[in-house]
Amino acid sequence: MNGDVGLPAFLLLGALMFVCGAVCMATKRNAIGVLMGVELVLNGANINFVAFAWFNPLFRVEGQVFALFVIVMAAAEAAIALAIVLNFYNNHTSVDVDAAEELKG
């Protein structure tokens, strides 16, 4: 139980994490910094899932199940993204995302 803390407080916290992740993806030039932004975005969405699961008794199990799926997907995404970053670093000796311009049209 969380007393008088209502649903909008949790949604605002989730929105804050989402926006922080989006700005992080936009402003970091380090590829791993971009990856951290993705993690923040997924966590913001997960807070919304769990908050709705708690405040809507009809979907108390579903919200947690979706949150667990998102956590597993985030782990897979982090693994594959870090492999790509390591490969990129082996080829360019840099993790600057601005250095990836071979495919520039």
Partner 1 sequence: MSLQQALFWIVASLTGLSALMVVLTQNIVRAAAWLLFALAGTAGIYFLLGSDFVGAAQLIVYVGGTLVLVVFGVMLTAQGPFVNLKAGAGEWAFSLLIGIALYATLAVATLATAWPASDPPPADYRSTANVAALGEAFLGIREIAPVGDIPRVYPPRNRTRVSYLLPFEIVSVHLLVVLIGAAYLARAKRRRVVSEAAA
Q: Which of residues 30-69 bind partner 1 (CB under 8 A)?
A: 30-33, 35-37, 39-40, 43, 46-47, 50-51, 53-62, 64-65, 67-69
| Residue 102 binds partner 1, judged by CB under 8 A | no
| Residue 76 binds partner 1, judged by CB under 8 A | yes
| Residue 11 binds partner 1, judged by CB under 8 A | yes
Amino acid at 94: S
Could you tell me if 24 and 38 are in contact, meaning their C-beta atoms sit under 8 angstroms apart?
no
| Residue 20 binds partner 1, judged by CB under 8 A | yes
| Residue 101 binds partner 1, judged by CB under 8 A | no
| Residue 15 binds partner 1, judged by CB under 8 A | yes
For the chain, helix, strand, coil in percent to 5 are 80, 0, 15
Using CA atoms of 77, 42, 19, 53 in order, give the dihedral in degrees to the nearest 10: 170
